[in-house]
Structure 1
Protein backbone atom coordinates (compact mmCIF):
# COMPACT_ATOMS: atom_id res chain seq x y z
CA UNK A 1 0.00 0.00 0.00
CA UNK A 2 2.82 2.39 0.94
CA UNK A 3 4.49 1.80 -2.43
CA UNK A 4 1.33 2.93 -4.23
CA UNK A 5 0.41 5.84 -1.99
CA UNK A 6 3.71 7.70 -2.13
CA UNK A 7 3.89 8.01 -5.98
CA UNK A 8 0.19 8.95 -6.11
CA UNK A 9 0.64 11.75 -3.56
CA UNK A 10 3.82 12.95 -5.26
CA UNK A 11 2.07 13.08 -8.63
CA UNK A 12 -0.94 14.81 -7.07
CA UNK A 13 1.28 17.49 -5.49
CA UNK A 14 3.30 18.01 -8.67
CA UNK A 15 0.20 18.34 -10.86
CA UNK A 16 -1.44 20.67 -8.32
CA UNK A 17 1.56 23.00 -8.42
CA UNK A 18 1.79 22.76 -12.21
CA UNK A 19 -1.90 23.26 -13.05
CA UNK A 20 -2.95 25.27 -10.02
CA UNK A 21 -0.03 27.67 -9.75
CA UNK A 22 2.53 27.66 -12.58
CA UNK A 23 0.12 27.43 -15.52
CA UNK A 24 -2.21 30.23 -14.30
CA UNK A 25 0.79 32.46 -13.58
CA UNK A 26 2.24 31.79 -17.05
CA UNK A 27 -1.06 32.48 -18.83
CA UNK A 28 -1.70 35.63 -16.79
CA UNK A 29 1.84 36.88 -17.47
CA UNK A 30 1.56 36.17 -21.19
CA UNK A 31 -1.82 37.90 -21.33
CA UNK A 32 -0.51 40.98 -19.58
CA UNK A 33 2.59 41.09 -21.79
CA UNK A 34 0.83 40.50 -25.12
CA UNK A 35 -2.56 42.15 -24.46
CA UNK A 36 -2.10 44.64 -21.61
CA UNK A 37 -5.30 46.66 -22.24
CA UNK A 38 -7.53 43.59 -22.47
CA UNK A 39 -5.87 41.89 -19.49
CA UNK A 40 -6.53 45.00 -17.40
CA UNK A 41 -10.27 44.86 -18.24
CA UNK A 42 -10.36 47.13 -21.32
CA UNK A 43 -11.01 50.09 -19.05
CA UNK A 44 -12.17 53.33 -20.67
CA UNK A 45 -10.98 56.66 -19.29
CA UNK A 46 -12.02 60.16 -20.26
CA UNK A 47 -10.27 63.24 -18.90
CA UNK A 48 -8.36 61.08 -16.42
CA UNK A 49 -11.57 59.59 -15.00
CA UNK A 50 -12.58 55.95 -15.27
CA UNK A 51 -15.97 55.78 -17.02
CA UNK A 52 -16.38 52.04 -17.57
CA UNK A 53 -15.15 49.01 -19.45
CA UNK A 54 -15.48 48.34 -23.15
CA UNK A 55 -16.27 44.71 -22.24
CA UNK A 56 -19.20 45.22 -19.84
CA UNK A 57 -22.49 46.89 -20.68
CA UNK A 58 -23.39 50.14 -18.95
CA UNK A 59 -26.84 51.16 -17.75
CA UNK A 60 -27.91 54.24 -19.75
CA UNK A 61 -31.49 55.38 -19.14
CA UNK A 62 -31.55 59.02 -20.27
CA UNK A 63 -33.20 59.55 -23.66
CA UNK A 64 -30.12 61.64 -24.58
CA UNK A 65 -28.08 58.43 -24.77
CA UNK A 66 -28.20 55.22 -26.74
CA UNK A 67 -29.49 52.33 -24.67
CA UNK A 68 -27.81 48.96 -24.62
CA UNK A 69 -29.23 45.49 -24.35
CA UNK A 70 -31.30 44.69 -21.29
CA UNK A 71 -29.34 42.99 -18.54
CA UNK A 72 -30.57 39.91 -16.72
CA UNK A 73 -28.05 40.22 -13.89
CA UNK A 74 -29.22 40.71 -10.33
CA UNK A 75 -29.63 42.56 -8.08
CA UNK A 76 -28.64 45.43 -10.41
CA UNK A 77 -28.29 45.71 -14.18
CA UNK A 78 -24.86 44.94 -15.69
CA UNK A 79 -23.58 43.44 -12.44
CA UNK A 80 -20.33 41.75 -13.47
CA UNK A 81 -20.27 39.65 -10.31
CA UNK A 82 -23.59 38.02 -11.25
CA UNK A 83 -23.17 37.32 -14.94
CA UNK A 84 -25.99 35.17 -16.28
CA UNK A 85 -28.89 35.11 -18.65
CA UNK A 86 -32.51 35.19 -17.60
CA UNK A 87 -32.89 31.44 -18.31
CA UNK A 88 -36.41 32.12 -19.60
CA UNK A 89 -37.38 29.96 -22.54
CA UNK A 90 -39.18 31.31 -25.61
CA UNK A 91 -42.54 29.97 -24.41
CA UNK A 92 -42.21 31.36 -20.89
CA UNK A 93 -44.89 34.02 -20.23
CA UNK A 94 -42.42 35.97 -18.05
CA UNK A 95 -40.13 36.46 -21.06
CA UNK A 96 -43.05 37.55 -23.22
CA UNK A 97 -44.18 40.04 -20.56
CA UNK A 98 -40.64 41.41 -20.16
CA UNK A 99 -40.26 41.89 -23.92
CA UNK A 100 -43.67 43.61 -24.15
CA UNK A 101 -42.69 45.94 -21.31
CA UNK A 102 -39.38 46.80 -22.97
CA UNK A 103 -41.11 47.49 -26.30
CA UNK A 104 -43.60 49.75 -24.50
CA UNK A 105 -40.73 51.66 -22.84
CA UNK A 106 -38.98 52.15 -26.19
CA UNK A 107 -42.23 53.32 -27.82
CA UNK A 108 -42.92 55.71 -24.91
CA UNK A 109 -39.43 57.22 -25.21
CA UNK A 110 -39.91 57.81 -28.95
CA UNK A 111 -43.65 57.76 -29.80
CA UNK A 112 -43.12 58.80 -33.41
CA UNK A 113 -40.89 55.83 -34.17
CA UNK A 114 -43.05 53.15 -35.78
CA UNK A 115 -40.17 51.01 -37.08
CA UNK A 116 -39.94 47.42 -35.86
CA UNK A 117 -37.98 47.22 -32.62
CA UNK A 118 -34.71 45.27 -33.07
CA UNK A 119 -34.63 42.10 -30.96
CA UNK A 120 -31.41 43.01 -29.17
CA UNK A 121 -33.08 46.05 -27.57
CA UNK A 122 -35.69 43.88 -25.85
CA UNK A 123 -33.86 40.61 -25.07
CA UNK A 124 -30.96 40.10 -22.68
CA UNK A 125 -27.76 38.45 -23.83
CA UNK A 126 -26.60 35.11 -22.42
CA UNK A 127 -24.13 36.84 -20.08
CA UNK A 128 -26.40 39.75 -19.22
CA UNK A 129 -23.38 42.03 -19.68
CA UNK A 130 -23.20 42.58 -23.44
CA UNK A 131 -21.68 46.03 -24.19
CA UNK A 132 -22.76 45.96 -27.85
CA UNK A 133 -25.90 46.45 -29.88
CA UNK A 134 -26.45 45.87 -33.56
CA UNK A 135 -26.13 48.79 -35.97
CA UNK A 136 -29.88 48.38 -36.58
CA UNK A 137 -30.57 48.87 -32.86
CA UNK A 138 -28.41 52.01 -32.86
CA UNK A 139 -30.17 53.40 -35.98
CA UNK A 140 -33.54 52.66 -34.35
CA UNK A 141 -32.60 55.05 -31.51
CA UNK A 142 -30.85 57.68 -33.64
CA UNK A 143 -33.83 60.00 -34.16
CA UNK A 144 -34.62 60.10 -30.42
CA UNK A 145 -31.01 60.83 -29.47
CA UNK A 146 -30.65 63.49 -32.20
CA UNK A 147 -33.87 65.21 -31.09
CA UNK A 148 -32.95 65.10 -27.38
CA UNK A 149 -29.49 66.54 -28.06
CA UNK A 150 -30.51 69.04 -30.73
CA UNK A 151 -28.17 67.42 -33.26
CA UNK A 152 -28.82 66.77 -36.94
CA UNK A 153 -29.87 63.16 -37.59
CA UNK A 154 -27.10 62.84 -40.19
CA UNK A 155 -24.49 63.72 -37.54
CA UNK A 156 -25.81 61.06 -35.16
CA UNK A 157 -25.95 58.48 -37.95
CA UNK A 158 -22.35 59.41 -38.82
CA UNK A 159 -21.31 58.69 -35.23
CA UNK A 160 -23.06 55.33 -35.42
CA UNK A 161 -21.25 54.52 -38.65
CA UNK A 162 -17.89 55.57 -37.19
CA UNK A 163 -18.52 53.49 -34.06
CA UNK A 164 -19.57 50.33 -35.89
CA UNK A 165 -17.05 47.52 -35.50
CA UNK A 166 -16.87 44.91 -38.25
CA UNK A 167 -16.56 41.17 -37.97
CA UNK A 168 -13.48 39.90 -36.15
CA UNK A 169 -10.87 39.04 -38.77
CA UNK A 170 -13.62 39.72 -41.35
CA UNK A 171 -15.00 36.29 -40.57
CA UNK A 172 -16.32 35.86 -37.02
CA UNK A 173 -19.29 37.55 -35.39
CA UNK A 174 -21.51 40.29 -36.70
CA UNK A 175 -21.08 44.06 -37.05
CA UNK A 176 -21.70 45.72 -33.70
CA UNK A 177 -21.65 49.05 -31.90
CA UNK A 178 -20.15 49.50 -28.43
CA UNK A 179 -22.78 51.56 -26.59
CA UNK A 180 -20.37 53.14 -24.08
CA UNK A 181 -17.97 54.31 -26.79
CA UNK A 182 -20.83 55.63 -28.95
CA UNK A 183 -22.25 57.59 -26.01
CA UNK A 184 -18.82 59.00 -25.18
CA UNK A 185 -18.48 60.12 -28.82
CA UNK A 186 -21.88 61.82 -28.45
CA UNK A 187 -20.72 63.62 -25.31
CA UNK A 188 -17.67 64.94 -27.15
CA UNK A 189 -20.01 66.47 -29.78
CA UNK A 190 -22.00 68.22 -27.04
Structure 2
Protein backbone atom coordinates (compact mmCIF):
# COMPACT_ATOMS: atom_id res chain seq x y z
CA UNK A 1 0.00 0.00 0.00
CA UNK A 2 2.88 2.32 0.82
CA UNK A 3 4.15 1.58 -2.64
CA UNK A 4 1.10 3.35 -4.19
CA UNK A 5 0.32 6.14 -1.73
CA UNK A 6 3.76 7.78 -1.64
CA UNK A 7 4.05 8.20 -5.47
CA UNK A 8 0.43 9.43 -5.59
CA UNK A 9 1.16 12.08 -2.94
CA UNK A 10 4.35 13.16 -4.74
CA UNK A 11 2.48 13.47 -8.02
CA UNK A 12 -0.35 15.40 -6.36
CA UNK A 13 2.02 17.87 -4.69
CA UNK A 14 4.01 18.30 -7.90
CA UNK A 15 0.87 19.07 -9.89
CA UNK A 16 -0.40 21.49 -7.23
CA UNK A 17 2.87 23.40 -7.33
CA UNK A 18 2.94 23.39 -11.14
CA UNK A 19 -0.73 24.25 -11.75
CA UNK A 20 -1.49 26.46 -8.74
CA UNK A 21 1.80 28.34 -8.33
CA UNK A 22 4.18 28.23 -11.29
CA UNK A 23 1.60 28.48 -14.11
CA UNK A 24 -0.34 31.45 -12.58
CA UNK A 25 2.93 33.31 -11.91
CA UNK A 26 4.02 32.68 -15.50
CA UNK A 27 0.72 34.02 -16.88
CA UNK A 28 0.88 37.06 -14.56
CA UNK A 29 4.41 37.80 -15.80
CA UNK A 30 3.21 37.66 -19.42
CA UNK A 31 0.33 39.98 -18.48
CA UNK A 32 2.80 42.54 -17.18
CA UNK A 33 4.29 42.76 -20.68
CA UNK A 34 0.97 43.72 -22.30
CA UNK A 35 -0.09 47.36 -22.95
CA UNK A 36 -2.29 47.53 -19.81
CA UNK A 37 0.32 45.71 -17.70
CA UNK A 38 -2.20 42.96 -16.93
CA UNK A 39 -4.92 45.34 -15.76
CA UNK A 40 -6.68 45.95 -19.06
CA UNK A 41 -6.23 48.79 -21.51
CA UNK A 42 -7.72 51.88 -19.90
CA UNK A 43 -9.01 54.92 -21.79
CA UNK A 44 -8.31 58.32 -20.25
CA UNK A 45 -9.79 61.73 -20.93
CA UNK A 46 -8.66 64.91 -19.19
CA UNK A 47 -6.36 62.88 -16.95
CA UNK A 48 -9.19 60.62 -15.68
CA UNK A 49 -9.84 56.98 -16.52
CA UNK A 50 -13.21 56.92 -18.31
CA UNK A 51 -13.38 53.28 -19.31
CA UNK A 52 -11.70 50.26 -20.78
CA UNK A 53 -11.04 49.89 -24.49
CA UNK A 54 -12.29 46.32 -24.67
CA UNK A 55 -15.40 46.61 -22.45
CA UNK A 56 -18.71 48.08 -23.51
CA UNK A 57 -20.36 50.84 -21.52
CA UNK A 58 -23.91 52.09 -21.26
CA UNK A 59 -24.65 55.26 -23.19
CA UNK A 60 -28.31 56.32 -23.13
CA UNK A 61 -28.08 60.09 -23.52
CA UNK A 62 -29.27 61.24 -26.93
CA UNK A 63 -26.12 63.30 -27.43
CA UNK A 64 -24.02 60.11 -27.54
CA UNK A 65 -23.92 57.06 -29.76
CA UNK A 66 -25.62 54.19 -27.98
CA UNK A 67 -23.91 50.87 -27.33
CA UNK A 68 -25.34 47.44 -27.87
CA UNK A 69 -27.80 46.38 -25.13
CA UNK A 70 -26.31 44.28 -22.36
CA UNK A 71 -28.07 41.44 -20.53
CA UNK A 72 -25.63 41.86 -17.61
CA UNK A 73 -25.76 45.68 -17.34
CA UNK A 74 -22.15 45.93 -18.66
CA UNK A 75 -20.82 44.20 -15.52
CA UNK A 76 -17.55 42.51 -16.44
CA UNK A 77 -17.71 40.33 -13.32
CA UNK A 78 -20.85 38.68 -14.64
CA UNK A 79 -20.27 38.45 -18.37
CA UNK A 80 -22.96 36.60 -20.26
CA UNK A 81 -25.91 36.76 -22.59
CA UNK A 82 -29.60 36.52 -21.84
CA UNK A 83 -29.63 32.79 -22.70
CA UNK A 84 -33.12 33.21 -24.12
CA UNK A 85 -33.93 31.87 -27.54
CA UNK A 86 -35.56 33.91 -30.31
CA UNK A 87 -38.94 32.26 -29.59
CA UNK A 88 -38.89 33.06 -25.86
CA UNK A 89 -41.74 35.49 -25.05
CA UNK A 90 -39.61 37.46 -22.55
CA UNK A 91 -36.85 37.88 -25.10
CA UNK A 92 -39.33 39.04 -27.73
CA UNK A 93 -40.67 41.63 -25.26
CA UNK A 94 -37.13 42.86 -24.52
CA UNK A 95 -36.29 43.21 -28.21
CA UNK A 96 -39.56 44.99 -28.91
CA UNK A 97 -38.91 47.37 -26.01
CA UNK A 98 -35.45 48.14 -27.44
CA UNK A 99 -36.98 48.74 -30.88
CA UNK A 100 -39.67 51.04 -29.47
CA UNK A 101 -37.11 53.03 -27.46
CA UNK A 102 -34.82 53.37 -30.46
CA UNK A 103 -37.65 54.54 -32.72
CA UNK A 104 -38.80 57.17 -30.17
CA UNK A 105 -35.28 58.61 -29.92
CA UNK A 106 -34.52 58.34 -33.65
CA UNK A 107 -37.51 59.76 -35.55
CA UNK A 108 -37.46 59.12 -39.27
CA UNK A 109 -35.91 55.68 -38.89
CA UNK A 110 -38.04 52.70 -39.94
CA UNK A 111 -38.09 49.52 -37.88
CA UNK A 112 -36.61 47.57 -40.80
CA UNK A 113 -33.58 49.91 -40.94
CA UNK A 114 -32.46 49.23 -37.36
CA UNK A 115 -29.42 46.91 -37.26
CA UNK A 116 -30.17 43.86 -35.10
CA UNK A 117 -27.20 44.53 -32.85
CA UNK A 118 -28.83 47.72 -31.52
CA UNK A 119 -31.85 45.84 -30.16
CA UNK A 120 -30.49 42.38 -29.25
CA UNK A 121 -28.14 41.22 -26.52
CA UNK A 122 -24.67 39.95 -27.32
CA UNK A 123 -23.22 36.70 -26.04
CA UNK A 124 -20.92 38.45 -23.56
CA UNK A 125 -22.96 41.54 -22.72
CA UNK A 126 -19.74 43.56 -22.93
CA UNK A 127 -19.32 44.39 -26.62
CA UNK A 128 -17.38 47.66 -26.97
CA UNK A 129 -17.94 47.93 -30.73
CA UNK A 130 -20.75 48.45 -33.20
CA UNK A 131 -20.87 47.91 -36.93
CA UNK A 132 -20.48 51.06 -39.02
CA UNK A 133 -24.17 50.73 -40.02
CA UNK A 134 -25.27 50.73 -36.37
CA UNK A 135 -23.25 53.88 -35.71
CA UNK A 136 -24.30 55.65 -38.90
CA UNK A 137 -28.02 55.16 -38.25
CA UNK A 138 -27.58 57.26 -35.08
CA UNK A 139 -25.83 60.19 -36.81
CA UNK A 140 -28.99 62.23 -37.39
CA UNK A 141 -30.04 62.08 -33.71
CA UNK A 142 -26.58 62.91 -32.36
CA UNK A 143 -26.04 65.76 -34.82
CA UNK A 144 -29.46 67.24 -34.09
CA UNK A 145 -29.07 67.15 -30.30
CA UNK A 146 -25.55 68.59 -30.44
CA UNK A 147 -26.42 71.19 -33.11
CA UNK A 148 -23.70 69.85 -35.39
CA UNK A 149 -23.80 69.37 -39.15
CA UNK A 150 -24.71 65.77 -40.02
CA UNK A 151 -21.80 65.67 -42.44
CA UNK A 152 -19.32 66.41 -39.63
CA UNK A 153 -20.73 63.67 -37.39
CA UNK A 154 -20.86 61.25 -40.33
CA UNK A 155 -17.22 62.00 -41.11
CA UNK A 156 -16.31 61.43 -37.46
CA UNK A 157 -17.94 58.00 -37.54
CA UNK A 158 -16.18 57.13 -40.79
CA UNK A 159 -12.83 58.16 -39.28
CA UNK A 160 -13.39 55.74 -36.38
CA UNK A 161 -14.17 52.68 -38.51
CA UNK A 162 -11.60 49.95 -38.01
CA UNK A 163 -11.34 47.46 -40.84
CA UNK A 164 -11.12 43.70 -40.47
CA UNK A 165 -8.01 42.24 -38.81
CA UNK A 166 -5.31 41.94 -41.48
CA UNK A 167 -7.94 43.07 -43.97
CA UNK A 168 -9.47 39.59 -43.91
CA UNK A 169 -10.70 38.43 -40.53
CA UNK A 170 -13.88 39.77 -38.95
CA UNK A 171 -16.14 42.70 -39.71
CA UNK A 172 -15.43 46.43 -39.71
CA UNK A 173 -16.18 47.96 -36.31
CA UNK A 174 -16.52 51.28 -34.50
CA UNK A 175 -15.47 51.53 -30.84
CA UNK A 176 -18.34 53.36 -29.14
CA UNK A 177 -16.29 54.79 -26.26
CA UNK A 178 -13.59 56.28 -28.47
CA UNK A 179 -16.23 57.63 -30.86
CA UNK A 180 -18.13 59.33 -28.03
CA UNK A 181 -14.93 60.80 -26.60
CA UNK A 182 -14.05 62.22 -30.02
CA UNK A 183 -17.59 63.53 -30.32
CA UNK A 184 -17.13 65.57 -27.15
CA UNK A 185 -14.28 67.46 -28.85
CA UNK A 186 -16.48 68.67 -31.75
CA UNK A 187 -17.81 72.19 -31.39
CA UNK A 188 -21.21 73.28 -32.76
| TM-score scaled by length of structure 2 | 0.94
Is 2:54 the counterpart of 1:58?
Answer: no
**What residue in structure 2 maps to residue 165 of structure 1?**
162
**What residue in structure 2 maps to residue 133 of structure 1?**
130
RMSD of equivalent CA atoms: 1.3
Question: Which secondary structure state, in structure 1, belongs to the residue aligned with residue 71 of structure 2?
Answer: coil
Q: List per-residue Cα deviations over 1:23-50 (Å, max 9, x = no partner).
A: 12112212321x2327321111111101
Question: Which secondary structure state, in structure 2, belongs to the residue aligned with residue 52 of structure 1?
Answer: strand
Q: Kindly indicate which of the two structures has a greater share of residues assigned to helix.
A: 1
Distance 2:165 2:16 in 1: 36
**What residue in structure 2 maps to residue 23 of structure 1?**
23
Count of equivalent residues: 186
Query: Does the C-alpha gap of structure 1 residues 40 and 121 become closer, same or farther in structure 2, counting only changes over 3 Å?
Result: same
Distance 1:64 1:103 in 2: 18
Give 4+ residue runs of structure 1 displaced > 6 Å after superposition: none
Structure 2, gaps ≥5 residues long: none
* Within-5 A mapping of 1:1-40: 1-33=1-33, 35-37=34-36, 39-40=38-39
Q: List per-residue Cα deviations over 1:42-99 (Å, max 9, x = no partner).
A: 11111110101111111111100000000000xxx11111111000101111111111
* Within-5 A mapping of 1:76-115: 77-114=73-110
Is 2:116 the counterpart of 1:119?
Answer: yes
Question: Which secondary structure state, in structure 2, belongs to the residue aligned with residue 11 of structure 1?
Answer: helix
Q: List per-residue Cα deviations over 1:104-140 (Å, max 9, x = no partner).
A: 1011002222361000000111011111111100001
Distance 1:36 1:151 in 2: 35
Question: Which secondary structure state, in structure 1, belongs to the residue aligned with residue 126 of structure 2?
Answer: coil
Structure 1, gaps ≥5 residues long: none
CA shift for structure 1 position 9: 0.9
